[in-house]
Amino acid sequence: MDLAGEPMLVRVVNRVKRAKLLDYVVVATTVNPRDRTIFELCNDHGYICMNGSEEDVLDRYWQVATAFHADLVVRITSDCPLSNRPS
């Protein structure tokens, strides 16, 4: 979804990439053909993106964690970008 001229996903990823303690920011999307646009958007912006199960979100995160030898995974969704705003 567009927000002031940029896709919401671009805004969220760029904001997350500012974190100093992260080694990688990976977008974990599905293998569903309708999510191909997410993969292409990531490719166009130079973001790391992996595709996985549409039904098993935990497996998608497991695959990313395994591929990047992660000790810790932080899940941030781009479909509710204001949910982590301080109150």
Over residues 42-79, the pLDDT tens digits come to 999 999 999 999 999 999 999 999 999 999 988 888 77
Tokens of 1: 């979804």
Q: Read off the pTM.
A: 0.83
At residue 87, the pLDDT reads 45
Residues 6+ positions from 84 with CB-CB distance below 8 Å? 76
